[in-house]
Structure 1
């Protein structure tokens, strides 16, 4: 009984993974995910959030395209060599299975949660690729995700339309710059995530300093 209680409590801990993808189009299937990164971004047990001491626990992969369709503008932004990836990119089955196993290893029996800003784009691609290619499916199941854009809108007391990354207060930003390299951007996002989680929010700040 004691072990069952311990396991129940363990399963309630969220383990966060900051995710970023670079693609050659807007949707998976007709287009391809060319690279992606996952970065361990902390954990929360319902009472305390623990940010990682560093951002060294990472998974990064560049993939072989799965179709002939692509948008030139997407390649211009991410600067990935699609022709080279056709020859040397990682097979999606191997890549997504390895990524799933890595996430589960880091989570260590706790619940993995994917974090992105905004969530909708990165989640769509990664969930589709995990389901389509990983022999173990999605380590995040069908709903283990956290949207930083919504979280900022709630804490800042602003509409979603005003909750873009460019509107973040300076103390919420990362020291890293957004570069459209999936690993670098996932690390940047992990820092933003931790800063945002630790921030009490604008309403709390106002109540503590009503004259401001």
Structure 2
């Protein structure tokens, strides 16, 4: 059984390594046994951490988007090793006997960061393996018939819209994506 985790990452730059994850969230987004999708009753099963930056590099524009205080995170952010171990344990606990699958919108940005951080900072690696991931943007394209370029959040059909806004707070956005994911999965176009 696939066990889905919606994820959102807030960073201080475009790529991991030279730049840092400042916060990330994972939200239980449902399960699928090959026949039946099960949407969660709510999106309260979540994991959120704010991290200590791993390098001195940052882009001012990235901080303006996410509103995180990088100087405060240098002092008070969680050590990435601890955060990634805790995240891995949480994912595996929620997944139980199922296979954890990473879900994002779009997948390419968030997967690059989280996978790199799990490989770099968790002694046990990624709970999602090297490829258990699901791109909501591609699913929107397939379900709607829109080209990928027209499958962003701003073009979502009304039936697929989440109930909350996109805030650029990792937990809010992971919940928003989990809701979009379930809406897309269940939608009969």
TM score, norm. by length of structure 1: 0.88
Q: Structure 1 stretches (4+) deviating beyond 4 angstroms?
A: none
- Residues of 2 paired with 1:107 and 1:127: CA distance? 18
1:3 corresponding residue in structure 2: none
- Residues of 1 paired with 2:97 and 2:84: CA distance? 19
1:205 corresponding residue in structure 2: none
Computing the radius of gyration from Cα coordinates, the structure with the larger value is 1
- Structure 2 residue 164 is the aligned partner of structure 1 residue 176: yes
* Among 13, 32, 38, the residue aligned to 1:44: 32
1:54 corresponding residue in structure 2: 42
SS of residue in 1 equivalent to 2:13: coil
Which blocks of at least 5 consecutive residues in structure 2 are unaligned? none
- Structure 2 residue 88 is the aligned partner of structure 1 residue 83: no
1:197 corresponding residue in structure 2: 185
Equivalences, count: 189
Deviation for aligned residue 1:150: 0.4
* Among 19, 22, 28, the residue aligned to 1:34: 22
SS of residue in 2 equivalent to 1:127: helix
Deviation for aligned residue 1:93: 0.2
Which blocks of at least 5 consecutive residues in structure 1 are unaligned? 1-12, 202-212
Question: Which aligned pairs between 1:1-212 and structure 2 lie closer than 5 A?
Answer: 13-201=1-189
Higher relative contact order (CA 8 A, sep 6+): 2
TM score, norm. by length of structure 2: 0.99
SS of residue in 2 equivalent to 1:66: coil
RMSD of aligned residue pairs (Cα, Å): 0.5
